[in-house]
Amino acid sequence: MRYRTFRLHILRSTTALVLATSTFGAAARADEGMWTMDNLPTRQLKQRYGFTPSAEWISRVTQASARLTLGCSASFVSADGLVMTNHHCANECLAELSPKGENWFQNGFSSKGQASEPQCPAMELDRLDRITDVTATMGKALAGQQGAAYSQAQKAAEAGIQKDCVAGDPTHWRCDVVTLYHGGRTALYRYKRYQDVRLVFAPDQNAAFFGGDPDNFNFPRYDLDLTFLRAYENGHPAKVTYFPFDAEGPKDGQLVFTSGNPGSTSREEPVAQLQLTRDLELPSTYGYLSTLDGVLWQYGRQGAQQTQDAQDMLFGVENSLKVYAGWLQTLADPAMMATKQKYETGLRAWIDADPARKATYGDPWTKLGSALDKERALNVRYTMIEGGPRGNPRGFQSDLFHYAKILVRGAAERAKPDAQRLSAFHDANLPAVEDALKSPAPVHADLDRTLLAFSLTRLRQALGADDATVHQVLGQDSPDIRANTLVDGSKLADPAVRMALWTGGQAAIDASTDPMIVLVRTIEPTARALRDQWDNDIVSVQRQTSETISKARFARDGAGSYPDATFTQRLSFGVVKGWNENGKQVPAFTTFAGLYDRATGSDPFRLTQPWIDAKPHLDMKTKFDFASTNDIIGGNSGSPVIDARGHAVGLIFDGNIHSLGGDFVYDGSQNRAVAVDTSAILAALRTVYKNQAVADELVKGHL
Amino acid sequence: MRYRTFRLHILRSTTALVLATSTFGAAARADEGMWTMDNLPTRQLKQRYGFTPSAEWISRVTQASARLTLGCSASFVSADGLVMTNHHCANECLAELSPKGENWFQNGFSSKGQASEPQCPAMELDRLDRITDVTATMGKALAGQQGAAYSQAQKAAEAGIQKDCVAGDPTHWRCDVVTLYHGGRTALYRYKRYQDVRLVFAPDQNAAFFGGDPDNFNFPRYDLDLTFLRAYENGHPAKVTYFPFDAEGPKDGQLVFTSGNPGSTSREEPVAQLQLTRDLELPSTYGYLSTLDGVLWQYGRQGAQQTQDAQDMLFGVENSLKVYAGWLQTLADPAMMATKQKYETGLRAWIDADPARKATYGDPWTKLGSALDKERALNVRYTMIEGGPRGNPRGFQSDLFHYAKILVRGAAERAKPDAQRLSAFHDANLPAVEDALKSPAPVHADLDRTLLAFSLTRLRQALGADDATVHQVLGQDSPDIRANTLVDGSKLADPAVRMALWTGGQAAIDASTDPMIVLVRTIEPTARALRDQWDNDIVSVQRQTSETISKARFARDGAGSYPDATFTQRLSFGVVKGWNENGKQVPAFTTFAGLYDRATGSDPFRLTQPWIDAKPHLDMKTKFDFASTNDIIGGNSGSPVIDARGHAVGLIFDGNIHSLGGDFVYDGSQNRAVAVDTSAILAALRTVYKNQAVADELVKGHL
């Protein structure tokens, strides 16, 4: 597993996302590129593969693709809203829906027919509806602004654009303002929003993640990392455009595409930013996650319930660790850094060579350097106390804390005019927040206590025992005792309690004696101040300087390439192909035979009984997983692999170990995407899981 | 706590130790320097402090200093063999001696008089007896040798020198061949060996390590990190030269010395080596230890027994993590690296400028580069399967495995002539090995299972599930199941079983069916091959190239400075002094008043009842801990701080956070050693612990 995005990077600073930029250099090489649908590399496709996408092809690919807001990609594979994505993209849904005493995440799930498909809590699927260029509007709103005023103007402009876009119906439309090409272009993405997504089929975890952490990011591979969901509208299966499902899968050397939502790349980040990532952000994140990995691993060994409660988070953490290990290795490569430095030096020289250009662009690198010095000074406090917008801060890893923070901050934000709020609390985004608060997903109290005790320990260690915030948080208690008091005393595990506090607004928050609410209320002024500093002194400068650099690059090189990834829809092209590993050729395909050869009987190489029973009835030569040269990254999890006809031939779920450097540079000789073959999906449905209904729907293209 | 050496770095590759070299640049600045007793910086001491050490002073300091072979320093503080060292240097002894149901490590210990002092298992104390220069002998033995032949010649020459030195009495003498100045000088250190070391007094852990991990490497500090031991000879207290114990402690600004055994520094490592440490060795070690930290932390939370069993290792791991975090930060400093690069470039230019020099020195940097490329390729396999000589390999963290490995390898090695053995199994070193095998220290089976399961998981993750060694080790089992089988089936927890296998030699090993012996036997050919490659292709090249670089440096700059640390006796000088932290002055001393102010009642800021009861009877203005500019490093733990008269005024136990860069560079403006004041030791003995016997012995200087 791997290629879902934000949850995997939940603990990472948001810098990389903020600085998402255009590709390195002007011309993408080999099969490089994550292309927007309105700027496909038609010349390259024609020259290299003799393929020219028709307007109908482009439209179908756009309409049949989707994304899960939790950070994955997906596709429609029947006219009746059947959605194909990865098993690891439905982990939470499977865990949360499991009835007492059952474990669907571990043991799999088959609905007893369309009428009895259960709804995944808090799952949202978005289908791209239209893209509008708002570069001019945003440019006007931000002209001449600096620091806090810049942040404020940006928030206000985005809120206005989004508000207009959802047209009073935020439960049906989702609108995101997306910065492309490092500020070279700003686009408004409107999505059709499906908040009723139900579970149709999932294999058992042993099959979905065969080989587990040891095999993760490796190939040859034998995983059925698959889940089928269904989008509903008004209580009925949604009628959609879809990819016809190919029963044969692709051939070696065949041209294939992926249509998905790569989360974030950093291929055009300034060198100073990459150095900060290498020297500060990555080591600190890697250390924190490694320790958390150890805590969760040992927690899971304490019993079957603990294993079950911790496993989703454990997989996410171990997955991220592999990614970051790859990043550390890539960023430690002096040749790679030297190439980027050379490019940057050239661009600076180009600016400096002409007084007019110097007047236009100034010296964004020096400005950025000062902002990065501020980040260096603020990083530990910020990540411990306030952290990124998508995850808890490192000092407070607790579901209950997370709810309390949404409630406390949400009450204050909703009291402001829409344009002045933090983006998560814009009117257009409130349905998603409420959906999360209403989620019936259980809070595992013992795990929550453990994670909170762990993170409070880290908070004290990072800031020191004499720090004022540490005193506020711990008082005279040890982290363990404090975590127990907070988790045992809080009622926020109950959705009804949360919704009462949400609807009660600021008055309810002020009156609450829930210890978790009291804690968040206490540290909120500190956390707010940190966020203001971070946004105004660091992020807004990064954004402005990036934009300036990007404009200089456009002026010199033109804008013929693709923008860095932004968790928006992109097409990548490539061919089904193995690679050469230390002189040995790795074939493009694996087969069922390889799976059975590799099964040892012990986790994570253990097959469940349905697979053992099915062996005599399966064709051992059936292709299982395959590698291709497509340029993908975290967030592409669940992307369909499609052929030149626009039919689904595979399902992306991973990249090989060489793909980990893809955040910074694409290397076509070894970087490979890894997918499940559609022929394996059909065989598994029919022969292993005996789910003829889903198999038939795939073949027919409708229910 | 901190400043003990090898155990803290137990998991680190040995490169840094191997490459211990002379100081950076020719002239040490400020109070920099870890000086050998035969080359004290008399001119600097005279100029800066008007102090000239007399021959008697030097002799007394040499004779009254000692080291604990587990990686600490110590000193004699009474004529009857009373030894002062740190509490954290006696962790194992305190834990291992605790009778069933008691916890001396946690609760402290006071003997009921000299006659009832219990012996610490497997503890050895060495007092330096003499230093002999063997540069010429070694030079002759190694002349013209390369690769495997070089390693072999080195082993043989060292074995011969050591054998002569112990003069047939290895239980009374310990002889180490020590490479100083990066190969510029080789010295033979002969020590008087005390293998009967008994426990006299230790405070409770809350007082010894007040502030715990959060305060570790921080100052102001309030720790009584102290243990008194006693060296015995023939069953009686050893008669020794000692440091008179000063009842007042030092004054602010006073000249003070430390006499101890700094373990290892890397101040003169070639830049390419530092880069490898920064980019490969450190990140991988940091990640591994961080995960282990999480495992141990959660393990300790499972119950009181688990807490007790895991705490010593947990403290060691957390301590190392702080050290490595400091290293990562120091090595990420481009200015520091640039300075070192500039120095190196200058030296290379000096060699290249003269054909005769070029003929003499050649190009050691290019040679070293090739060896480092080999390390890059071999590092993961080596550290997972074979590892450093002082710790278990990362794939096999288990006490039982450790015993099995000593037994299997020891049997094979002892069958060879002395000169051809690995150094740990030279005749001169066998008493220490046997002592370890006989140790009555318990093996905590549940913890051993946990650590083995953890490390087998890492082994598989690092080498891949298809690796032949992984197959040999795991077979069809999961790491958890395999660890259970190995630990549950092995009888090596019993010292008698171990000694039977040891005395039985190769025949006993071949016949053994103990599963841990069988495992080690199975992988021994692989582990041996890795060690040979490592020693011959990497370490011997590092050694030779370091020696060449060192000789060039000596030729150009002269040899007036101190050698990099080698866990041999060194004197450092400095003054008692605070420092400026972000514009705020940190005072040099803390007091008892500060301790009571800081106590919250919760661990690790909780005072035990004796301290609470003693409060009204203590003078709150008593100095507790102090900071000084002395240049120390891991291994200096337990070093006495002495004044110009040669009296003990303090006890080193830590450095501040700025001292962590001291492995690579000394910064006199902020780098501080941290010690317990002798006046606090006396007050605590008399008023808190009511141990008048030890206090009286300190004041009188004898029993």
Which tens digit of pLDDT belongs to each residue from A485-511?
A: 999 999 999 999 999 999 999 999 999
The token pair at B602 is: 């919760």
The answer to whether position A213 is within a domain reads: yes
Residues of A within 8 A of B461 (CB-CB) are 213-214
Under a CB-based contact definition with an 8 Å cutoff, are residues A187 and A133 in contact? yes
Alpha-carbon dihedral B230, B312, B567, B165, rounded to 10 degrees: 60
Task: Tell me the nearest-neighbour CA distance from A595 into chain B, angstroms.
Answer: 13
By the CB < 8 Å criterion, does A386 face chain B?
no
Query: Which one is predicted more confidently, A312 or A449?
Result: A449
The answer to whether position A687 is within a domain reads: yes
Positions in chain B short of pLDDT 70: 1-29, 388-391, 559
pLDDT of residue B388: 58
CB spacing of A602 vs B321 below 8 angstroms: no
The answer to whether position A576 is within a domain reads: yes
> In this structure, are A145 and A233 located in the same domain?
no
The answer to whether position A88 is within a domain reads: yes
Residues of A within 8 A of B332 (CB-CB) are 279-280
pLDDT of residue B183: 81
CB spacing of A460 vs B214 below 8 angstroms: yes
Instruction: Give the residues across from A233 on adjacent strands.
Output: A236
Q: Is B323 exposed, middle or buried (0-12, 13-18, 19+ CB in 10 A)?
A: buried
Which of A7-21, A232-246, B689-703 is least confident?
A7-21
pLDDT of residue A3: 42
| pTM listed for this prediction | 0.87
Contacts with A, B 259-318, CB within 8 Å: 279-280, 283, 286-288, 290-299, 301-302
> In this structure, are B246 and B286 located in the same domain?
no
> In this structure, are B288 and B308 located in the same domain?
yes
> In this structure, are B353 and B280 located in the same domain?
yes
Task: Tell me the nearest-neighbour CA distance from B94 into chain A, angstroms.
Answer: 25
**Mean pLDDT across A232-241:** 97
Q: Give the C-alpha separation, B385 to B392, whole Å.
A: 9
| Cβ partners under 8 Å of residue B108, min gap 6 | B202, B203, B204, B205, B207, B689
**Residue range A134-154, pLDDT digits in tens:** 999 998 998 888 878 888 898
CATH code (residue A664)? 2.40.10.120
The answer to whether position B658 is within a domain reads: no
**Residue range A262-278, pLDDT digits in tens:** 998 888 889 999 999 99
The residue of A309, A596, A602, A603 whose CB has the most chain B CBs within 10 angstroms, and thus the best one to mutate to test that interface, is A602
> In this structure, are A529 and A584 located in the same domain?
no
Furthest-apart CA pair in chain B: how many Å?
A: 76
> In this structure, are B510 and B572 located in the same domain?
no
pLDDT of residue A2: 42
CB spacing of A464 vs B321 below 8 angstroms: no
Q: Give the C-alpha separation, B183 to B541, whole Å.
A: 12
> In this structure, are B282 and B260 located in the same domain?
no
The answer to whether position B677 is within a domain reads: yes
Q: Give the C-alpha separation, A309 to A202, whole Å.
A: 19
Task: Tell me the nearest-neighbour CA distance from B277 into chain A, angstroms.
Answer: 11
Q: In this complex, which of B280, B287, B454 lies closest to A290 when CB atoms are compared?
A: B287
The token pair at A336 is: 């790679």
Helix segments in A353-385, DSSP class H: 355-361, 364-385
Contacts with B, A 130-159, CB within 8 Å: none
For residue B154, give its domain range: 15-265+566-653+668-700
- Binned at pLDDT 50, 70 and 90, residue A308 comes out as confident
Contacts with A, B 461-520, CB within 8 Å: 461, 464-465, 474-478, 480-481
Kindly identify which residue of chain B lies nearest to residue A298, measuring between CA atoms: B295
Does residue B188 sit in helix, strand or coil? strand
Under a CB-based contact definition with an 8 Å cutoff, are residues A416 and A156 in contact? no
Q: Give the C-alpha separation, B59 to B573, whole Å.
A: 17
The residue type of B242 is Y
> In this structure, are A137 and A155 located in the same domain?
yes
CB spacing of B283 vs A283 below 8 angstroms: yes
Of the residues B555, B575, B609, which one is the last residue of a structural domain? B555
The answer to whether position B3 is within a domain reads: no
The token pair at A479 is: 């982290």
pLDDT of residue A295: 98
Q: Give the C-alpha separation, A656 to A580, whole Å.
A: 12
> In this structure, are A152 and A67 located in the same domain?
no
Contacts with A, B 311-370, CB within 8 Å: 321, 325, 328, 332
The answer to whether position B663 is within a domain reads: no
Does residue A119 sit in helix, strand or coil? strand
Of the residues A146, A166, A187, which one is the last residue of a structural domain? A187
Q: Give the C-alpha separation, B548 to B362, whole Å.
A: 9
Q: In this complex, which of B321, B454, B476 lies closest to A600 when CB atoms are compared?
A: B476
> In this structure, are A665 and A620 located in the same domain?
yes
Report the domain count for chain A. Answer: 3
Helix segments in B415-444, DSSP class H: 430-438
Of the residues B514, B534, B555, which one is the last residue of a structural domain? B555
> In this structure, are A110 and A232 located in the same domain?
yes
**Residue range A31-89, pLDDT digits in tens:** 899 999 988 999 999 999 999 999 999 999 999 999 998 889 999 999 999 999 999 99
Query: Which one is predicted more confidently, B145 or A522?
Result: A522
Task: Tell me the nearest-neighbour CA distance from A343 into chain B, angstroms.
Answer: 21
Q: Give the C-alpha separation, B412 to B394, whole Å.
A: 23
**Mean pLDDT across A426-441:** 87
Q: Give the C-alpha separation, A476 to A602, whole Å.
A: 47
CB spacing of B214 vs A461 below 8 angstroms: yes
pLDDT of residue A388: 58
Q: Give the C-alpha separation, A458 to B366, whole Å.
A: 43
Q: In this complex, which of A287, A298, A301 lies closest to B286 when CB atoms are compared?
A: A287
- How many CB atoms neighbour CB A504 within 10 A? 15
> In this structure, are A688 and A577 located in the same domain?
yes
Q: Give the C-alpha separation, A42 to A53, whole Å.
A: 8
What's the helix, strand, coil split of chain B in %, to 5?
50, 15, 35
Contacts with A, B 198-227, CB within 8 Å: 211, 213-215, 218
Work out how many CB contacts closer than 8 A connect A with B.
Answer: 117
The full length of chain B comes to 703
Under a CB-based contact definition with an 8 Å cutoff, are residues B487 and B398 in contact? yes
